[in-house]
Amino acid sequence: MQEPERETTQQVASKQGARIVDARVIVTCPGRNFVTLKITTSDGVYGVGDGTLNGRELAVSAYLQEHVVPCLIGRDADRIEDTWQYLYRGAYWRRGPVTMAAIAAVDTALWDIKAKGANMPLYQLLGGRGRDGVTVYCHANGHDLGELCESVAQHVELGYKAVRVQCAVPGVADAYGVSHGDGPYEPADGSVPREEVWSTAKYLRFAPKMMETVRLRFGFDLALLHDGHHRMTPIEAASLGKSLEEFRLFWLEDATPAENQQAFRLIRQHTTTPLAVGEVFNSIFDCQQLISEQLIDYIRATVVHAGGITHMRRIASFADLYGVKTGSHGPTDVSPICMGAALHFDLSVPNFGIQEHMPHCAETDEVFPHAYRFKDGLMHPGESAGHGVDIDEKLAARFPYKRMYLPVARLEDGSMHNW
Ligand code: EZ4
Ligand code: CO
């Protein structure tokens, strides 16, 4: 039998795509800090990826600039999976938020380039539209229940079909998710970390009253979500889940920290309130047990923090085997680039659940011109080739980096707690 002929090096080379000729990190602060990677190919096509890690932005910027960019120059821009594996396996040091945000920035930029090369919106490359649009939830909050209900009403008026509700807790100095001044809520708000004081006991007494008030006013057709923001122990979370059951939440988010994935077994044994977790996850291994044991209902990993489109597809496919849906993180600290990429992912992935949407300020929207839009409770990534989000570099240069931190939380006796 004749051996199949091996291809010559020249034949393989002729199948190669355009080379990466330039990769640049852009840090800008149009209202808040963002890290962007811009990759340009020998064909003159460029793509952009988000690498923003709230409060730790320059760590990702340095990781990219010093350790990733030199390896990208000369690489075949078409080989997205190979580049992902090269940066993940090849670095020896795997996982972690800094590494995975850096990989995400490269991955997102390369998918942008590939989709532009194909002259298609990214969702077409990912298998095409799986739904008409992307259902998003917004944030309503208030310093008291009256203000909260007003905020919910305003968002319903805007067309949102799903609303996250957060409220100041009587007797607690600082609750998560409530704005400190008159402006919209922004998590990173201090040039040093602001210290908050927290009481879980007071919160647990108040939370059912909060949900009851909102249900009484808005009925049961509106999807309601709530974020516990890692403040409870597993048994406290179990008790909250039980006390909220009658209010039929869409989900209870981050009920307890999840480094120990088994912790969710205890919550699950006690309550049918749907559970969502994972906005701080950066790898499929962070949710392997949570998913395979069906301890959660929604996985909140997002493009920028979990290794880009490539790794998010892997997480979603794995979750689909166990009936777990996606529910990607989408606060202001993911840039419009991540938001755009996430919407293409959301539109195409079979087990999509919901997408968080926290609108960016006007300056951010100007620095990152984008094709996505919101209409009647749904978001649409738009039909531009690529992921549909760009960066105006000249404008970006007018907003230099400003050191900003998320707050930290202490219990009433001064103990450090989870923020
Ligand atoms: O606190 O993105 O669900 N959304 C959240 C966010 C996070 C910030 C942290 O960077 O919990 O507001
Ligand atoms: Co959250």
Residue type for 197, please?
V
Handedness of CA 94, 96, 102, 106 (dihedral sign): positive
Question: For residue 415, how many other CB atoms are within 10 A of its CB?
Answer: 9
Burial class from Cβ neighbours inside 10 Å (0-12, 13-18, 19+) for residue 341 reads buried
Query: pLDDT-derived band of residue 181, with 50, 70 and 90 as boundaries?
Result: confident
Query: What is the number of alpha carbons within 13 Å of residue 214 lying toward its C-beta?
Result: 36
Measure the CA–CA gap between 203 and 140, rounded to whole angstroms.
17
Looking at the predicted structure, is the pLDDT value of residue 247 above 70? yes
- The tens digit of pLDDT for each residue in 358-398 reads 999 999 999 999 999 999 999 999 999 999 999 999 999 99
Closest CA to 238 of 276, 199, 264: 264
The pLDDT of residue 6 is 67
Residue 173: band (very low, low, confident or very high) from pLDDT cuts 50, 70, 90: confident
Give me ligand 1 centre to Cα 188, in Å. Answer: 9
* Mean pLDDT computed over 127-146: 98
The ligand 1 atom nearest the CA atom of 332: 2
- Band (12; pLDDT cuts 50, 70, 90): low
Q: What pLDDT does 3 receive? A: 61
Average pLDDT over residues 265-272: 98
pLDDT greater than 60 at residue 13: no
Compute the distance between CA of residue 277 and CA of residue 101 in angstroms, rounded to an integer: 18
Would the CB of 229 count as within 6 Å of ligand 1? yes
Angstrom distance (rounded) from CA 46 to CA 286: 32
63-116 tens-digit pLDDT: 999 999 999 999 999 999 999 999 999 999 999 999 999 999 999 999 999 999
Are 292 and 320 contacting, i.e. CB atoms less than 8 angstroms apart?
no
What value does the mean pLDDT take over residues 263-286?
98
Residue that wins the pLDDT comparison between 184 and 176:
176
Query: End-to-end CA distance of the chain, in Å?
Result: 68
pLDDT 10s digits, 152-170: 999 999 999 999 999 999 9
- Any catalytic annotation for residue 176? yes
The closest of 224, 206, 227 to 215, measured between CA atoms, is 224
46, 176, 203, 372: which one is catalytic?
Answer: 176
Single-letter code of the amino acid located at 348: S
Nearest CA to ligand 1 atom 10: 54
Look at residues 333, 327, 396, 388 and name the one whose alpha carbon lies nearest to residue 359.
333
Q: What is the pLDDT of residues 280-291, one digit of tens each?
A: 999 999 999 999
Q: Please name which of 178, 230, 180 lies closest in space to residue 200, comparing C-alpha atoms.
A: 230
Q: Which listed ligand is nearest to 418 at the C-alpha?
A: 1
Residue 188 contacts residue 223 (beta carbons within 8 Å)? no
Task: Tell me, in angstroms, the distance from the centre of ligand 1 to residue 181's CA.
Answer: 18
Find all residues with CB under 8 Å of 228, minimum gap 6, and list them: 237, 240, 252, 253, 254, 255, 256
Report whether residue 112 contacts ligand 1, using a CB cutoff of 6 Å.
Answer: no
With 90 as the cut, is the pLDDT of residue 184 above it?
Answer: no
pLDDT for position 413: 97
Which pLDDT score is estimated for 334? 98
Average pLDDT in the 20-41 region?
98
- Residue 185 is predicted with a pLDDT of 86
Q: Is the pLDDT of residue 1 over 70?
A: no
CA 213 – CA 148 distance, rounded (Å): 10
Task: With cut-offs at 50, 70 and 90, classify the pLDDT of residue 17.
Answer: confident
Q: Percent of the chain, pLDDT > 70?
A: 96
Q: Measured between alpha carbons, how far is residue 250 from residues 221, 258, 292, 353, 418 in Å?
A: 11, 20, 21, 10, 24
What's the gap in Å between 331 CA and the centre of ligand 1?
Answer: 6
Q: Is 357 a catalytic residue?
A: no
pLDDT score for 16 = 78
Which residue among 164, 229, 357, 419 has the greatest number of ligand 1 atoms within 8 angstroms of its CB, and so is best to mutate? Answer: 229
Band (pLDDT 50/70/90 cuts) for residue 235 is very high
The pLDDT of residue 10 is above 90 = no
